[in-house]
Amino acid sequence: MRLLIALSILLVASCSFGAEPPPKINLEPLVRGLQQPLYVTHDGTDRIFIVEQPGRIRLFQNGQLQKDPYLDLRAKVTSGGECGLLGLAFHPDFATNGYFYVNYTARRGTLVTVISEFRAEPKSGRVDPRTERELMTFEQPYPNHNGGQVVFGPDRMLYIGTGDGGSAGDPKNSGQRTDTLLGKILRIDVSTRQRYGVPPDNPFVGRRGYRPEIWATGLRNPWRFSFDRETKHCYCADVGQNLWEEIDIITRGGNYGWRLMEGTHPFRPEANMPEDLIPPIKEYHHDLGLSVTGGYVYRGKQFPSLVGWYIYGDYSSGRIWGLKYEDGRVTGDAELLHSRTQPSSLGEDASGEMYLCDHNGTVYRITAE
């Protein structure tokens, strides 16, 4: 365990840029006047979809924000703080089947997370909310640390990020427990029409005491994660507790340490610490920011200087960083911009160009000099 921590610290401290300097980026306003935007994504076309925390999905098309919402769930969604409509993912075959998936919180006696499927006419600008089919619900013991990301992986399975259930210090030890869906990355198969299926190659299928939906454990609040279009690496930004924010590479069956560890630092260690905890590829101290916002590896065409850089930010400080991870090590690490935004999420369009959601109401396009 100590060797893993030492190697991680050495890895982070020994970053070098080689001959390639870090890119210089700018933020260009794309859409203003939004209500707490939390996510931006695409449906495989040039249409852009923006998630507003209170429960609406907005459509940006032909250079304009459409007046009517694409989907309005405000009557169902419990919003405020870390609750709300938190994630959106279009099916890889959306152009033919019209399916997309959302992650939201709702009050049903207790607070619950809801993972639902909707069906739309693929070219339509409006969705009938009555097409909702709930796939999964699970209780949230506290109103914070709800995770929220849903994304299809290169394997066409749906991945779901769940927080540890909230409060502080993970009082229920959800990160390390294997009988709960909290504090995890989940992986499910949505092709079955009876709620959802569990892929047979999930790492804990058939193991006593494990929920079979679990793909990775030991996470505190994996607010945003994404797959690199080229390498297929899954980058996850896990929001820290007292001192440290971290970026992880998520692998099948991996344990990322929470609540035993915060980044590479002991948080609540136990006498018999697991030997297989996976350290982050990057961590930063709360002197620089208090809440990491995960991003994407840029694979677009318009800004060659950004290609291969994982771009992410911090909600509290407005800092935006770039990270290059190649051949199992960090080869580039730099602050790209200290903005005046509150980055609630980053996103990309169908061609791989990148955007930033400012929780104050604007979506920006990321450009490079």
Look at residues 43, 221, 209 and name the one whose alpha carbon lies nearest to residue 146: 221
pLDDT tens sequence for the chain (369 residues): 433 443 444 444 334 444 478 999 999 999 999 999 999 999 999 999 999 999 999 999 999 999 999 999 999 999 999 999 999 999 999 999 999 999 999 999 999 999 999 999 999 999 999 999 999 999 999 999 999 999 999 999 999 999 999 999 999 999 999 999 999 999 999 998 889 999 999 999 999 999 999 999 999 999 999 999 999 999 999 999 999 999 999 999 999 999 999 999 999 999 999 999 999 999 999 999 999 999 999 999 999 999 999 999 999 999 999 999 999 999 999 999 999 999 999 999 999 999 999 999 999 999 998
Q: What are the structure tokens assigned to 273, written together? A: 């610490």
What pLDDT, on the 0 to 100 scale, is given for residue 16?
42
Q: pTM for the complete prediction?
A: 0.95
Q: What are the structure tokens assigned to 39, written together? A: 């996510």
Q: What are the structure tokens assigned to 58, written together? A: 């907005």
What pLDDT, on the 0 to 100 scale, is given for residue 21?
86
CB atoms within 10 A of CB 224: 30
Q: What are the structure tokens assigned to 334, written together? A: 């730099």
What pLDDT, on the 0 to 100 scale, is given for residue 8?
44
Separation CA 149–CA 184 (nearest Å): 11
Residue 271 CA: distances (Å) to CA of 74, 96, 190:
47, 54, 40
**Which one-letter amino acid corresponds to residue 172?**
K
CATH fold for the domain made of 2-368: Neuraminidase (2.120.10)
Residue ranges per structural domain of the chain: 2-368
What pLDDT, on the 0 to 100 scale, is given for residue 2?
39
Residues 262/256, Cβ–Cβ less than 8 Å: no
DSSP strands (E only) in 55-212:
56-61, 64-65, 71-72, 85-90, 99-108, 110-119, 133-139, 150-152, 158-162, 184-188
pLDDT in tens, 221-241: 999 999 999 999 999 999 999
CB atoms within 10 A of CB 250: 22
Would you list the DSSP string of 282-318?
Answer: EEEETTT-SSEEEEEE---SS-GGGTT-EEEEETTT-
What pLDDT, on the 0 to 100 scale, is given for residue 7?
43
Strands 292-297 and 310-314 turn out to be: antiparallel
